Structures are given as structure tokens and as C-alpha cells.
Amino acid sequence: MKIYLLSFVVAFIVSLIATPVAKKLAFAIGAIDIPNEERRIHTKPIPRLGGLAIYFGTITSILLFLPKTHETIGIVLGATIIAVLGLFDDKYSLSAKIKLLGQVVAAVVLIISGVRIDWLSNPFGDGMIYLKSWVAIPLTLFWVVGITNTMNLIDGLDGLAAGIAVISSGSLFIVSLLNGRFATAVISIAIAGAALGFLPYNFNPAKIFMGDTGSMFLGFVLAAISIQGAVKSAAAIAIAVPILALGVPIFDTAFAIIRRLINGKPIMEADKGHLHHRLLEKGLTQKQAVLIMYGVSVLLGISAILISSSSEIKGLIILFISILFVMWGADRIGLLERQRKGTQTR
């Protein structure tokens, strides 16, 4: 436990110290988020690049406390590619195609290093289900690129993505401990420490945003460790563990895709129908909306932990209850409702 504590503390301190430096750098190179779109919540320019502090906090901890295995090196290299990609995007606003290409390259580096979904536990019997390369590689690419972008999409309120990252990585840390995954436990707790070190500067009212540098980096690393520490676990329905641990960004993105299809909108077109937008429409403040989403993330994280240590029947029951909870919440908030023409016009 000493190494885990040190990993957390080092990541936290480095991120806490590096955030003001990142803020100065953002002003120096002009990486500023200007609220020139209707869906923006903030009303004044805010510097980006806070993700650099999270990156340095996490990577410093990984390099200090983990052996340099192929998997560790792959995660570090892939995460560095993502961070550099995010840095350029925060400065120059890259096109979606270029960002997707960079994400795929980073995911390929991860796969080459040995981090991939090549087997799953069998929920219908003993043993494992081994996947052929033609299945494992596309599945891993889809998972890594998908989670990288879900964290990017959830970054819409002060402190939201950073707090969700702390909770999700904390859940994955416990799952990794339960499954004896030392490396993923260290990385998970490092992410939690780095994100928490950044949070005092990012919680409402935010002094700095993490930008795509931070949101994509967090999504990428969380995707990688969820493969090693959760998907390949002994749980009967192991695939449900990372989906619940990363539940808030995953479900929010899934509902956004379904909602846009219902309304005949392009899947990649931004809108104001995300969970945090809906909560603000209900009259909640930014802090209240963020705290509610923290609460939902904690509940889903607990469900993931319980599934990872439960029998098949208990795990299925927990999963069923979790899905019902998510669907009930989506219905109450109106995440899937058809947009009115008046709303579209405005």
C-alpha cells in the first residue's frame, strides 16, 4: 500500500504545482477558450492546457513507481501522443479527422505494446473466451478511441471531467486491487491524484480548463487501464465493470448519439442536450449539477466494484439494477426527448 500512497501523493503534488505553470503557458501561446458559441457555459475567456499538469503528474508517478514493461512503455508513449495532439488542438483547434487519426495512432501504439482485449471471461460457463486478432484489434481500437472521446464530450462544466476522472480511476483502482493487477492499480491511483491536484483550479469558478490535452489524455489512459485491470478480470460479466466505472461519460455519449439519430441530426454535431445541459435547464447551478453527476458516478463505480467481486447471478442482478437506474434517470432528465422546432430555431 505504500507504493500506491506514494503514487497518489507524487501525482497530486506535481499536478498541483504544474497547473499555475500551465496557466501561464496558455496565456503565452494563446491557448484560450473564448465563449463564442451558444452552448458554452462560461462567459469570459479561460486559459486551457490544464491537462498538461495532469499529464506530468500521472506520467511522473508511472515512471517512478512502475517497472518499464512493454505495456507500461506503450501506455506512456500512447498517452504522450494524445497529450501532444491535445496541446495542438487547444492552440490551433484541429479538425475532427486529424484528431481521430492521432487517436488511432496512439491506440495502435497501445496495441503493439500488448495492451489489447484479446480475451474475456465467459459469463455462461468456466474458462475464457479468446479472441482472434481480427476481432481483438478493432475491438480495442473502438474501445480506446471511444473512451478517449467520451471524456472529451463530458468536459462541459467546471470541475466535471476532473472529478469524474477521480471517481472512475478510484473505482478502477479498487477493481485492480481485487484482481491483483499491480500496474493498473498504480496507474489508476496516479490518475486520481493528478486529477485531484488539478481540481482546486478547475472547480467552479474555474481559473483554468484542462482542454482537450487533459480530457483526451484522461480518456485514453482510463481506457488502457480498464482493459488491463477490469475487462481481463475474473468477474463473470467483466465487460460490464469498466462500462459502469466509466458510466457517466459512456452513457451520456450513448444517449447523445441516440438523441441525434432520433432528431435526424449528424452524430458528430454538438448540441445542448448533454446531461449537464439538462441539469442546468432544470434550474441547478454549475456546482449543483456537477455534484449530482459526481454522485451518479460514485453509484455506478460502486456497482462496478460489486460486480467485479460477485458471482454470476449477483453480478447480473447488480447490472440489471444499474441499467434500470440509468434509464430512469435519463427519462427524468429528458436525455432522449425529441427536440422541439422552437428549441432548434433558437
pLDDT tens-digit profile of 152-179? 889 888 999 999 999 999 999 999 998 8
Residue 192: predicted pLDDT: 97
Average pLDDT over residues 20-44: 82
Q: Is residue 342 part of a domain?
A: no
**pLDDT tens digits along 40-56:** 666 688 999 999 999 99
pLDDT band at 108 (very low <50, low <70, confident <90, very high): very high
Q: Which domain does 228 fall in, by range? A: 1-333
Per-residue pLDDT band for 342 (boundaries 50, 70, 90) equals very low
The band of 232, judged by pLDDT with boundaries at 50, 70 and 90, is: low
Confidence bin at 223 (pLDDT 50/70/90) = very high
Mean pLDDT of 107-135: 82
Question: Is 212 annotated as belonging to a binding site?
Answer: yes
Helices (H), 66-209: 70-92, 96-112, 133-154, 160-178, 182-202
Look at residue 216 and tell me if it is in a domain.
yes
| Residue 126, pLDDT above cutoff 70 | no
| 338 domain residue, yes or no | no
Note the pLDDT tens digit of each residue in 261-296: 887 777 777 777 788 888 888 888 899 999 999 999
Kindly state the average pLDDT of the residues 22-34. Answer: 92
In a domain, 215, yes or no: yes
Range ranked top by mean pLDDT from 76-90, 129-143, 266-280:
76-90
Look at the chain and report how many structural domains it folds into. 1
152 known ligand binder: yes
113 within some domain: yes
Burial class (CB in 10 A: 0-12, 13-18, 19+), 180: exposed
User: CA–CA separation, 32 vs 222, rounded Å?
Assistant: 26
Cell of 234: 475474473
**Element at 337 (helix H, strand E):** none
**311 part of a folded domain:** yes
What whole-number distance in Å separates Cα of residue 271 and Cα of residue 279? 14
Pick the closest to residue 305 from 244, 214, 254, 226 (CA basis).
Answer: 244
Residue 280's CB is within 10 A of a number of other CB atoms, namely 18
Name the pLDDT band for 75 (thresholds 50, 70, 90).
Answer: very high
Rounded Cα–Cα distance for residues 145 and 260 (Å): 20
Lowest mean pLDDT among 67-76, 139-148, 322-331: 322-331
pLDDT of residue 341: 43
- Classify residue 279: in a domain, yes or no: yes
Least confident of 3-7, 61-65, 81-85, 129-133: 129-133
341 located within any domain: no
Q: Is 108 exposed, middle or buried (0-12, 13-18, 19+ CB in 10 A)?
A: middle
Mean pLDDT to the nearest integer, 104-121? 90
The average pLDDT across 326-342 equals 70
pLDDT of 236 > 60? The answer is no
- The model carries a pTM of 0.91
